[in-house]
């Protein structure tokens, strides 16, 4: 064997060794990068799953357990709310239609003149529509004492309509109050420029007197402005449980001097807002400006009921209107508790 042949063999062996060494380095780098990628992907996946968990947790339509996808179910935004439905006349034939709301609420309360002798969790017989907030207050007291799972009360007239699923994005920790054309939800110090029959009856003076009584009796509890009174359409509104006691205590002052509900309720709500809001621009009242109609409107159509999430009034003697409402509620109810 020649010296040259020996050198060639040595260099071939060395080259092969270096190639293997480089290959090993390459494989180590690839393995390291793969581990980093897997770690990052796993962390991103965990973050993404957590994000989904938070989003679903914050939705009142979905009950979710991420450990078992089969547990994701649709529920009503009002599943922990009492629906307080008011009749101004004893139209008992409307009860079967109102029963269509039952799947969406924790419970229904029927307020019908002469219906029952006293206020209970599910009914009252008040014939005094101008001061019906007293029965609302009494019902809140019953809830606070006996029904810890109820988180709020939604009041509405039987000839108003509510599209339950379209309230999913609402803040259920806030009061909701309608902002309609008649009467508008406004707080003022005088009636100038506001032509409304309630002022001619002196209800603003009664509200101002009630506010003065609140300042006297609850000086360390509520923030008030002695010159301010409010008016507003009061056929649809929502009060969260955290403000039940405030509503009860204010009712104990406003009701005895017979403050008219469309002056008394908005004035009480304004006092609650003044007391609890963090700043003037951080109100605890959500104004609902998209309901169809107002206190005294009539003539809502089938399309109005389909398109608007709330409104007043509808004529349930009209078979087309009644069928539209029933179909809407039955259609939405068919999705409740379904797994998605």
Query: Would you kindly state where each structural domain of the chain is located, as residue ranges?
Result: 3-58, 74-333
Among the listed ranges 72-76, 80-84, 109-113, 260-264, which one has the minimum average pLDDT value?
72-76
User: Do you find a cis peptide bond into 173, omega within 30 degrees of 0?
Assistant: no
pLDDT at position 56? 46
Q: What is the pLDDT of residue 52?
A: 38
Q: How far apart are CA 269 and CA 275, in angstroms?
A: 10
Q: CATH assignment of 74-333, given 1.10.3470, 3.90.550, 3.40.50, 3.30.70?
A: 3.90.550
Tell me the whole-structure pTM to 2 decimals.
0.79
**6-44 confidence digits (pLDDT tens):** 555 544 545 554 566 665 666 666 666 665 554 444 444
Q: What is the C-alpha to C-alpha distance for residues 144 and 242, in angstroms, rounded to an integer?
A: 10
pLDDT of residue 72: 81
Q: Which residues, at least 6 apart from 172, have a Cβ–Cβ distance to it below 8 Å? A: 60, 77, 81, 151, 152, 238, 240
Specify the residue for token string 């039952």.
102
Between helix 244-254 and helix 261-276 the angle, nearest 10°, is 130
pLDDT at 64: 53
pLDDT cut 70: percent of the chain above it = 79
Whether the per-residue pLDDT at 180 is higher than 90: the answer is no
Q: How far is 228 from 27, CA to CA, in rounded Å?
A: 79
Residue 51 confidence (pLDDT): 37
CA-to-CA separations, 202 to 134, 158, 190, 192, 269, in angstroms, rounded = 20, 29, 12, 14, 20
For 223-246, b/e burial (b = at least 16 CB within 10 A) is ebeeebbbbbbbbbbbbbbebbeb
pLDDT (average), residues 292-297? 74
Task: Give the residue, 65 or 287, on which the prediction is more confident.
Answer: 287
Q: What percent of the chain has pLDDT over 90?
A: 69
For residue 183, say if its preceding peptide bond is cis, omega within 30 degrees of 0: yes
As a whole number, the mean pLDDT across the chain is 86
CB 125 within 8 A of CB 117: yes
Indicate the pLDDT class of residue 182, thresholds 50, 70 and 90: confident
Distance, CA of 102 to CA of 105 (rounded, Å)? 6
Name the residue with higher pLDDT: 321 or 21: 321
Whether the per-residue pLDDT at 69 is higher than 60: the answer is: no
Sorted by sequence, the CB contacts under 8 Å of residue 38 that are 6+ apart come out as none
Kindly list the distances between the CA atom of residue 92 and the CA atoms of 85, 216, 234, 296, 314, in Å, as whole numbers in the listed order.
Answer: 12, 43, 22, 22, 16
Give mean pLDDT, residues 305-332: 94
Q: Are 132 and 248 in contact (CB under 8 A)?
A: no
Q: Report how far apart the first and last C-alpha atoms of the chain are (Å, whole number).
A: 80
Question: What are the b/e assignments for 78-114, b being 16+ CB within 10 Å?
Answer: bbbbbbbbbbbeeeeebeeebebbebbbbebbbbbbe
Looking at 14-23, 42-51, 214-223, 237-246, which range is the least confident one? Answer: 42-51
Taking alpha carbons only, the member of 110, 105, 130 closest to residue 120 is 110
């Amino acid at each position: 064997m020649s010296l040259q042949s020996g050198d060639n063999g040595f260099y071939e062996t060395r080259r092969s060794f270096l190639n293997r060494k480089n290959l090993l380095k390459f494989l180590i780098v690839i393995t390291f990068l793969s581990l980093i990628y897997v770690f990052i992907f796993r962390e991103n996946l965990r973050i993404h799953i957590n994000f989904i968990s938070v989003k679903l947790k914050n939705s009142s339509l979905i009950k979710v357990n991420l450990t078992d996808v089969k547990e994701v179910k649709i529920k009503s935004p009002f599943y922990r709310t009492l629906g307080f439905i008011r009749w101004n006349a004893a139209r008992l034939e409307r009860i079967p239609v109102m029963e269509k709301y039952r799947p969406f609420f924790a419970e229904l309360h029927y307020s019908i003149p002469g219906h029952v002798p006293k206020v209970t969790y599910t009914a009252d017989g008040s014939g005094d529509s101008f001061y019906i907030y007293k029965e609302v207050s009494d019902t809140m007291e019953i809830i606070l004492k006996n029904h810890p799972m109820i988180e709020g009360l939604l009041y509405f007239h039987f000839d108003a309509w509510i599209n339950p699923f379209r309230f999913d994005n609402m803040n259920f920790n806030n009061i909701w109050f309608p902002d309609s054309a008649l009467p508008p939800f406004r707080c003022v110090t005088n009636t100038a420029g506001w032509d409304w029959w309630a002022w001619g009856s002196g209800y603003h003076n009664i509200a101002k007197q009630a506010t003065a009584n609140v300042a006297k009796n609850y000086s360390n509890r509520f923030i008030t402005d002695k010159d301010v009174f409010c008016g507003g359409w009061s056929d649809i509104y929502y009060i969260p449980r955290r403000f039940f006691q405030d509503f009860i205590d204010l009712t104990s002052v406003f009701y005895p001097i017979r403050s008219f509900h469309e002056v008394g309720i908005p004035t009480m709500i304004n006092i609650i807002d003044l007391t609890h809001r963090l700043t003037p621009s951080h109100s605890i009242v959500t104004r609902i400006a998209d309901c169809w109609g107002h206190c005294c409107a009539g003539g809502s159509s089938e399309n109005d009921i389909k398109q608007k999430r709330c409104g007043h009034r509808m004529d349930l003697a009209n078979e087309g209107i009644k069928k539209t409402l029933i179909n809407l509620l039955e259609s939405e109810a068919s999705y409740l508790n379904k797994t998605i």
